[in-house]
Amino acid sequence: MTAAGIHADGVIKNEEIYSIFDTAKLLNRPPGVSVTDKSGAAGVSFWVNARLGLKGDRRLDKRHPGILKIVEWVDAQYAALRTTAISDEEMLEQAKQHLPDHFK
Q: Write the CB contacts of 68 (distance below 8 Å, at least 6 apart in sequence).
A: 41
Q: Where are the alpha helices (DSSP H) in the chain?
A: 5-13, 15-18, 23-26, 40-52, 65-79, 88-98
pLDDT value of position 76: 98
The count of domains in the chain is 1
- Domain with 27 in it: 5-103
pLDDT value of position 72: 98
Q: CA 29 to CA 85: how far, in whole Å?
A: 20
- pTM, full prediction: 0.76
Q: Could you read off the pLDDT tens digit of each residue along the chain, which spans 104 residues?
A: 555 554 555 555 555 555 666 666 666 766 677 899 988 999 999 899 988 989 899 999 999 999 999 999 999 999 999 999 999 999 999 999 999 999 76
Give the CA angle between residues 87, 93, 94 to the nearest 5°.
Answer: 90
